[in-house]
Amino acid sequence: MTFHSILFDGAETSTAIDERDAPACFADLNLEQVIDAITAGKEEYNLKPFFHAPLTTVDAITYRHEVLRDLEGDAVFGYITAFAQEMRAMRDHLAQADRLRYKYQKQGWFLDAVAIYCEAVGRLAHDLNLGDIRSRGLLAFREYLTNYAESDSFKSLVAETTQLEADLSGVRYCLNIKGNSVKVTAYDSEADYSAEVERTFAKFKQGAVKDYRVGFPGGPDMNHVEARALDLVTRLSPDIFLALNEYCERQREYLDGALGTFDREVHFYVAYREYVDLFKPAGLPFCYPRVSDRSKEVYAREAFDVALANKLVRKNASVVCNDWYLKNPERIFTVSGPNQGGKTTFARTFGQLHYLASLGCPVPGREAQLFLFDRLFTHFEKEEDLTNLSGKLEDDLMRIHEILERATGNSLVIMNESFTSTTLRDALFLGKKVLEQIVQLDLLCVYVTFVDELANLGETTVSMTSTVEPENPAVRTYKVVRRAADGLAYAAAIAEKYGLTYEGLRGRIAA
């Protein structure tokens, strides 16, 4: 009986995943920050490679959705995180055993590590059988775990560990300290003298009084006096310590490989769920997107830039969500409008949703249908460099050329303010040329531009514009709406404020 992986169904491969670096689009889409935030505090699991590997089939995505839905229930999630905590405690114990110097102390920590492991395995096997589990991934894991927990080798490991723990905790001895000499003897039921003193004075007890007990440094280390005393204690009970020694030799390889892998991989889900929970208090929704590898009709309701939202939520600032859709034959969002109005954020949101969906994760938004891309290309403007204008334009074009060379009909392209380093005329010309190619390739695309004329290039493009607040045009709303780019958004807002819009004037004149 084997168990493959909680992250990949049989068809997908998990091999060589650890060698993956962040995809090129990470910086532009601020996904670096997102993944950093998700994996923060979970470095020991080395989760980032999993976030660097988009899935390639809809079924692989469904496999993860299933597991995630199982983990939505607090019960199952609790079982898994409790197991993880115990496994972590176990690793801490092993590490501690490594660090320590005295033999019997190392062995004690090792024994505890195994005891924690036995307990964790037993508990998880028990718990998972209580849980409402439907995903293929967790069902297979449960079956594996149940078999393992009932295997003879595991059972005897448990029995032996329990026995040794009991034996050791039964050891009692006395120290007689006088001057600089210490005598170690077996405990002989001598009376508890503190209790005796306490009893003598008990009649004076009034109310609660101060606690005079002194806290001692509780570190795991022993000083040489304690170590010498322990050596003498082992001579008082030689059998127990002999057994311990032999056990430690024999059980070196107690840990089951598949369980170790599971413990690591399942944190992909744990981390993501914890990340999603950060946004709940702010009322920001996440949803399981419908993902298709055929239909390029996409839409999202109340989608938001999760990297930005993470910063805003910390400051208790509100987060603007956007709705968008593309219906056949629409493929391209051209985004224009006032600066600082949310255009780039819109582009990033579109990219983030698609990328996170390709990981099999819920996406930031109320509802979404997304396309399973084969590649995601971004072209965001780099730092402006005035000394090298022509060089920058050339560089831009080279990069775009390369993207278009490599893109297939199933690729996603997100371009942000390209060609700002040339004249408007040139920008219009170049933009048109590039968009024509994009249309030809039938690519899904977001094209952020300051050139209004590029917004309406036919039935495949949809114009989205950033908006301002009608009452106070200086205030950006960060809403990006489906609206013709007429370059008049700002003017319209000003006009409305003074009642000078068409309707406003009509109404006033009529009066």
Partner 1 sequence: MKAFLMHKDRDFDLQRELPTNEGALTQDLELNTLFAAMARGDEFLFEMAKRAVLSSLDDPEAIVYRQQVVRDCLEQPSIVREIYDVAVEALEAEKKIFFGSFSLHYPNAILHRAVAVLELLVGALKRLRQIADEHAREFQSEGFTELFEMITGELGDEYLHTVEDHLRELGFRRGVLISAELGKGNKGTNYLLRRPINTKLGWRERIASFGRSSGYSFQIADRDEAGARALSQLRDRGINLVANAAAQSTDHILSFFSMLRAELAFYAGCLNLHEQLAEKGEPTCFPIPSAPGKLALAVEGLYDACLALELQETVVGNDVSADEKVLVMITGANQGGKSTFLRGLGLAQLMMQCGMFVAAESFRANPCDGVFTHFKREEDVTMKSGKLDEELSRMSDIVNELTPNCILLCNESFAATNEREGSEIARQIIRALLDSGIKVFFVTHMFDLAHGFYVQRMDAALFLRAEREPDGRRTFRLVEGEPLPTSYGEDVYRRVFGPAGQATPAATSGVGMDAPAAGESRRDAVR
207 binds partner 1 (CB under 8 A): yes
201 binds partner 1 (CB under 8 A): yes
* Beta carbon of residue 356, minimum distance to partner 1 (angstroms, whole number): 43
* Beta carbon of residue 184, minimum distance to partner 1 (angstroms, whole number): 5
- Helix 238-250 crosses helix 103-130 at what angle (to 10 degrees)? 60
Of residues 431, 469, 472, the one with CA closest to residue 450: 431
What is the Cα–Cα distance from 20 to 41, expressed in whole angstroms?
Answer: 21
* Beta carbon of residue 108, minimum distance to partner 1 (angstroms, whole number): 4
Candidate segments 9-17, 226-234, 357-365, 461-469, binder of partner 1 by CB under 8 A: 226-234
* Beta carbon of residue 248, minimum distance to partner 1 (angstroms, whole number): 12
198 binds partner 1 (CB under 8 A): yes
* Beta carbon of residue 84, minimum distance to partner 1 (angstroms, whole number): 22
96 binds partner 1 (CB under 8 A): yes
Find the binder of partner 1 among 21, 211, 253, 405 (CB under 8 A): 211
112 binds partner 1 (CB under 8 A): yes
Closer residue to partner 1 (CB): 6 or 111: 111
Of residues 49, 32, 486, 503, the one with CA closest to residue 267: 49
Candidate segments 33-41, 230-238, 291-299, 379-387, binder of partner 1 by CB under 8 A: 230-238
Closer residue to partner 1 (CB): 155 or 183: 183
Quick one: DSSP state of residue 289? P
Q: What are phi and psi of 118, to 5 degrees?
A: -60, -45
Task: Name the residue with tokens 């010309």.
Answer: 429
Find the binder of partner 1 among 17, 236, 481, 492 (CB under 8 A): 236
Closer residue to partner 1 (CB): 230 or 332: 230
* Beta carbon of residue 218, minimum distance to partner 1 (angstroms, whole number): 9
Q: Please report, as residue ranges, which positions from 369 to 408 form the binding site for partner 1 (by CB under 8 A).
A: none
What is the Cα–Cα distance from 156 to 241, expressed in whole angstroms?
Answer: 19
Q: What are phi and psi of 380, to 5 degrees?
A: -105, 145
What b/e readout covers 404-437, taking b as 16+ CB neighbours within 10 angstroms? beebeebbbbbbbbbbbbbeeeebbebbeebbee
| 3-state SS track over 119-152 | HHHHHHHHHHHHCCCCCHHHHHHHHHHHHHHCCH
Helix (H, G, I), strand (E, B) or coil at 292: strand
Of residues 467, 455, 511, the one with CA closest to residue 493: 467
224 binds partner 1 (CB under 8 A): yes
Tally Cβ neighbours within 10 Å of residue 460.
18
Q: How far is CA 316 from CA 309, 313, 352, 484, in A?
A: 10, 5, 22, 33
Q: In what order do the strands lie in the sheet with 476-482?
A: 376-380, 412-416, 444-448, 332-336, 461-468, 476-482
22 binds partner 1 (CB under 8 A): no
Candidate segments 5-13, 32-40, 98-106, 133-141, binder of partner 1 by CB under 8 A: 98-106
Closer residue to partner 1 (CB): 232 or 428: 232
What is the Cα–Cα distance from 54 to 372, expressed in whole angstroms?
Answer: 9
For residue 422, how many C-alpha atoms fall within 13 Å in the half-sphere facing its CB? Answer: 20
Closer residue to partner 1 (CB): 82 or 229: 229
* Beta carbon of residue 93, minimum distance to partner 1 (angstroms, whole number): 9
What is the Cα–Cα distance from 21 to 57, expressed in whole angstroms?
Answer: 21
* Beta carbon of residue 87, minimum distance to partner 1 (angstroms, whole number): 19
Find the binder of partner 1 among 2, 74, 152, 200 (CB under 8 A): 200
Of residues 318, 314, 317, 284, the one with CA closest to residue 301: 284
Closer residue to partner 1 (CB): 216 or 498: 216
Candidate segments 23-31, 229-237, 317-325, 373-381, binder of partner 1 by CB under 8 A: 229-237
* Beta carbon of residue 246, minimum distance to partner 1 (angstroms, whole number): 16
Closer residue to partner 1 (CB): 90 or 335: 90
Quick one: DSSP state of residue 45? G
239 binds partner 1 (CB under 8 A): no
Closer residue to partner 1 (CB): 29 or 240: 240
Q: Which two tokens stand for residue 433?
A: 């040329």
Find the binder of partner 1 among 23, 54, 108, 362 (CB under 8 A): 108
**Contact string 156-185 vs partner 1 (x = CB under 8 A):** ------------xx-xxxxxxxxxxxxxxx
Task: Give first-to-last CA distance, the chain, whole Å.
Answer: 85
Find the binder of partner 1 among 220, 409, 458, 487 (CB under 8 A): 220
* Beta carbon of residue 278, minimum distance to partner 1 (angstroms, whole number): 35
* Beta carbon of residue 163, minimum distance to partner 1 (angstroms, whole number): 15
Closer residue to partner 1 (CB): 99 or 250: 99
Query: Contact residues for partner 1 (CB under 8 A)?
Result: 96-97, 100, 104-109, 112, 168-169, 171-188, 190-198, 200-201, 203-207, 209-214, 216, 220, 222-226, 228-230, 232-233, 235-236
